[in-house]
Structure formats: C-alpha cells, structure tokens
Amino acid sequence: MFIGVDPGKDKCGVAVLNSAGEVHFSEVIATKDFESVVKKISAQFQIELAILGDGTTHAAAEKKIRALNLPVQVVDEKFTTELARREYWKKNPPKGWRKLLPTSLQVPPVPVDNLVAEILVKRHLGLIAGR
C-alpha cells in the first residue's frame, strides 16, 4: 500500500492506494490533523512508501511522516492540480446550465487535494504519464 500526500498550509490531500492503483482511502484533511491521520492510516494499512508532493509545506510534512518511521519519496507536483480538476469533473459531471460551460473553465466546488494525492501515487506506480 502507498500513501499519497498533497501537503498544504491549511489542508492536505491524503490517499491510500494499492499497487494496482485501487483507492482505499481518499480525503482532504486539516493540516493540523495531518500527523494523527497519517498515524491512524499507517496502523490500518501496511504502508510501503509515502509519496509526498513537493509543494507548499512539504518539508514539515516529510518530517512528520519520517517521525512515524515511514519511508518517504518527494515527487514533483507539476500539473497535478489541473489533472485533479479534470478527474473531479469526470467523477462529478456538471448538471443543469453548467453542462453548457467547458469544465476547463469551471472550478470544482470542493477542494481536490485528495485527488492530487491519488495522482501522485498513480504517477509513482507508472499508471499515468508524468513523473
């Protein structure tokens, strides 16, 4: 199992995927809860590796993950937010008048940091292009 983390100042995306890319956990959490959530996840799942995006506050997140004795790989987050927004609209197609607007011009109504975390793991596993 792999844990993906999209760290942020106020919120973080966290996702747990297996080696086939199947999602077992995916949430946006408050940064203040990061350490306790990762601790709980690591007790629940056999985490092999933490995949951490190199964005905002990644150094602090890396320190917290390493304190839990989890191996960490920091990876490039380039274009992951755009990919996550596309993924959001695939899973939640616009309704009503919003169907008339291209999704590339719309912002999802909820944070997509958890989808970024999923994408980081899938990239690591080679399931989607880009590293």
For 42-84, write each residue's pLDDT tens digit.
999 999 999 999 988 999 999 999 999 999 999 999 999 999 9
Percentage of the chain beyond pLDDT 90 is 95
Enclosing H/E stretch for 11: strand 11-17
Strand 49-53 versus strand 72-75 pairing type: parallel
Domain 2-125's class?
A: alpha beta
Q: What is the pLDDT of residue 101?
A: 93
DSSP 14-69: EEEE-TT--EEEEEEEEGGGHHHHHHHHHHHS---EEEEESSTTHHHHHHHHHHTT
Q: Which pTM value belongs to this model?
A: 0.93
- Return the CA Rg of the chain: 15
DSSP state of 103: G
Give tens-digit pLDDT for 75-129.
999 999 999 999 999 999 999 999 999 998 999 999 999 999 999 999 999 998 7
9, 57 Cβ separation under 8 angstroms: yes
119, 84 Cβ separation under 8 angstroms: yes
CA distance 92 to 115: 13
103, 94 Cβ separation under 8 angstroms: yes
